[in-house]
Amino acid sequence: MSKKVKKILKIIIPIIIILAIIVTIIIVKNNSQPKVQVLLEVYNKLNGITSYQFQKEIDSKNKTIVAKNGNNAVIDNYSSGTHTTTIINNGTTTYISHEKEEYYIYNNINIEANIVESWMEDVINREYTAGEEKIRGKKYYYEEYQGSTMFCDSNSLNEDESQIKTRFYFDNENNLVYIKTIFSQTQEELLKIEISENIDNTLFEIPEGYIEISID
């Protein structure tokens, strides 16, 4: 083998090795990403069970718990120092103000218990892109959908809807763990998500000593 050939091989072989490494990384990355719409799978799972508890949280003082138990549901909301609970039960809705220690009961016929499912229904038929991003030091797969969603806690009424994006983040077991609403390059809202089939039944109860306020 001539010196010229050896010199060429010294140049070509490292290039081939580098290209092989790049191709391998791309293949591994593509194989690690789900081939299906993960948010749709989460929606189908919730639709297939009779009870669950869903929590979205900015921090301990700003969070919402939605619990479903058969045809009954509850929305327990903490927001900037206020705590309210809405209970949907047997054709009635009970609204509780914990600061005032009082509640109101009124009839309803149109409110359904599938609250989180309805929030997801508004999203799953939109086109989406997929990617990966680190959240609080850990990398997650995400699906990004155009526009805001009912999961968002921030007021987006004055925002340009065409510029808003919402990312749903999933762990290695396809559990929904975060939702990020991106309003602009400098403004976003990150919600920590927990979903469980174990529900807190006390959420469906009116605390003892609270006063009922009649509605005329």
DSSP code per residue over the chain:
--HHHHHHHHHHHHHHHHHHHHHHHHHHHHHHS-SS-HHHHHHHHHHT-SEEEEEEEEETTEEEEEEEETTEEEEEEEETTEEEEEEEETTEEEEEETTTTEEEEEE-SS--S-HHHHHHHHHHTS-EEEEEEEETTEEEEEEEEES--TT--S--TTS-GGG-EEEEEE-TT--EEEEEEE-SSS-EEEEEEEEES---GGGGSPPTTPEEPP--
Range 5-8 contact pairs with CB under 8 angstroms and sequence separation of 24 or more: none
Tens digit of each residue's pLDDT (9 = 90 or more) over 161-207: 788 999 999 999 999 999 999 998 889 999 999 999 999 999 999 99
Share of the chain above pLDDT 70, in %: 80
pTM: 0.80
Better pLDDT: 113 or 84: 84
Helix pair angle (115-124, 38-47), 10° resolution: 150
Residue 3 vs residue 211, higher pLDDT: 211
Residue 50 confidence (pLDDT): 93
Span 31-58, mean pLDDT? 88
Can you give the pLDDT at residue 31? 44
Torsion sign, CA atoms 10, 13, 17, 23? positive
Q: Is the pLDDT of residue 32 over 50?
A: no
The larger pLDDT score, comparing residue 192 to residue 13, is at 192
pLDDT at position 34:
54
Does residue 210 surpass a pLDDT of 50?
yes
> In the chain, what is the straight-line distance between the N-terminal and C-terminal CA atoms, in Å?
101
pLDDT of residue 30 exceeding 70, the answer is no
**Measured in whole angstroms, how far is the alpha carbon of residue 109 from the centre of its chain?**
28
Q: What is the pLDDT of residue 109?
A: 62
Instruction: Determine contact, residues 96/82, Cβ cutoff 8 Å.
Output: no
pLDDT tier at 113, thresholds 50, 70, 90: confident
The model's confidence at residue 25, banded by pLDDT at 50, 70 and 90, is low
| pLDDT given at position 127 | 93
Among 160, 148, 161, residue whose Cα is nearest residue 189: 148
Output the CA torsion sign for 62, 71, 99, 106. Answer: positive
Q: Are 206 and 95 in contact (CB under 8 A)?
A: no
Residues 6+ apart with CB under 8 A from 12: none
pLDDT over 90 percentage in the chain? 68
